[in-house]
């Protein structure tokens, strides 16, 4: 089949020689060469695509992928993108070069490429995010912090930069600064506006709130943590409503996150009845949430609600979760039931 396709393309190459369609045929022939594991032939074919062609970028990227995936040659991989920039010093090509350097873990070179792109388009907030992430990957946290702070001053409404700066502050255990940055991002949003938010906005708000929880945990602010988690739970419930149009994998992921949030609320709740309520809410969102099932079983055991504990342990056995701890609880259950019968007699 591939041989037949090659013959057809070879005939087409001859027919369309000197036209734009010839380049498309060259690219298709390179794809066939890759499927035949003839990587040298594929590279040679792609090298024939001139810089003037609209498919030149596609050809360079395809050639670079061959060098990296099949020849493990990082230098040749990067050179494809350097050649691309040499043929056209555009911001988009510098971004491709920067992303290529990040792919082969050369963040210093990536930063230089991204900065070149930023000089051509200083309003591109995505570039500021890329440069910040590249600086963090070099572990030059001081410089990364200065960069993010400066970028945020220039783009105060950019939530992505604000979030990345807060993550960096949290990593550096500067919890007060992280909390301040995140609180400001959330201060302009009330629940009425939130109700109207789209799926992406809502999931972003939840992510921001959960990072705020981490900063509050670092500062041991349990009261504030609970308030933030409750707000995250309310927004996540909206996410669940809007996730109906999403794929099954995304829906499952959002249900699990809703359960995680309820579990975290339960873990800092001081009232036992409310704690049980939040564990139950977690399981309503995601029926096989193992941490909630185990915690609920332990609470029933500690409160001597033996039948409820037994029911939860049986559920754990049925879904194959937390088997070791469930088995230990079953042992405790049997001992307690024997003791109760002995006390009654």
Q: 136 or 197: which carries more pLDDT confidence?
A: 136
Residue 162's nearest CA partner among 140, 178, 142, 173 is: 178
pTM score, two decimals?
0.75
Please report the pLDDT score of residue 9 as a whole number: 41
- For 5, residues 6+ apart whose C-beta sits below 8 A from its C-beta are 32
Predicted confidence band of residue 344 (pLDDT cuts 50, 70, 90): low
- Residue-wise pLDDT for 248-276, tens only, equals 899 999 999 999 999 999 999 999 999 99
- For 273, residues 6+ apart whose C-beta sits below 8 A from its C-beta are none
Q: Domains, the chain, ranges and CATH? A: 1-88 (1.25.40.10), 189-287 (no CATH), 289-340 (no CATH)
Rounded-to-10 torsion of CA 269, 272, 277, 278: 30
- For 215, residues 6+ apart whose C-beta sits below 8 A from its C-beta are 166, 169, 170, 175, 176, 178, 179, 182
Look-up of token digits 């019968």:
341
Q: 29 or 74: which carries more pLDDT confidence?
A: 74
- Residue-wise pLDDT for 128-140, tens only, equals 889 999 999 999 9
Please report the pLDDT score of residue 111 as a whole number: 95
């Amino acid at each position: 089949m591939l041989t037949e396709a090659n013959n057809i393309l070879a005939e087409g190459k001859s027919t369309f020689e000197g036209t734009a369609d010839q380049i498309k045929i060259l690219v298709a022939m390179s794809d066939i060469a890759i499927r035949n594991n003839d990587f040298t032939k594929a590279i040679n074919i792609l090298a024939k695509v001139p810089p003037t062609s609209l498919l030149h970028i596609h050809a360079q990227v395809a050639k670079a992928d061959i060098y990296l995936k099949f020849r493990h040659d990082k230098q040749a991989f990067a050179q494809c993108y350097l050649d691309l920039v040499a043929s056209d010093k555009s911001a988009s090509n510098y971004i491709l070069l920067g992303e290529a350097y990040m792919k082969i873990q050369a963040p210093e070179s990536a930063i230089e490429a991204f900065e070149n792109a930023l000089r051509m388009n200083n309003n591109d907030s995505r570039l500021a995010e890329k440069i910040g992430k590249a600086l963090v990957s070099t572990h030059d946290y001081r410089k990364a912090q200065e960069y993010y702070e400066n970028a945020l001053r220039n783009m105060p409404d950019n939530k992505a930069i604000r979030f990345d700066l807060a993550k960096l502050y949290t990593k550096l255990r500067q919890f007060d600064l992280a909390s301040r940055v995140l609180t400001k991002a959330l201060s302009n949003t009330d629940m009425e506006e939130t109700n109207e938010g789209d799926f992406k906005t809502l999931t972003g708000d939840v992510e921001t709130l959960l990072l705020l929880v981490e900063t509050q945990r670092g500062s041991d602010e349990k009261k504030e943590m609970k308030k933030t988690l409750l707000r995250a739970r309310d927004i996540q419930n909206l996410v669940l409503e809007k996730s109906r149009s999403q794929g099954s994998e995304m829906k499952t992921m959002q249900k699990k996150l809703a359960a995680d949030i309820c579990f975290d609320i339960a873990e800092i709740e001081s009232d036992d009845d409310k704690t049980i309520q939040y564990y139950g809410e977690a399981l309503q969102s995601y029926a096989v949430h193992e941490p909630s099932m185990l915690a609920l079983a332990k609470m029933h055991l500690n409160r001597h609600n033996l039948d409820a504990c037994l029911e939860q342990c049986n559920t754990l056995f049925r879904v194959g979760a937390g088997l070791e701890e469930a088995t230990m609880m079953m042992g405790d259950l049997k001992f307690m039931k024997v003791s109760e019968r002995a006390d009654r007699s």
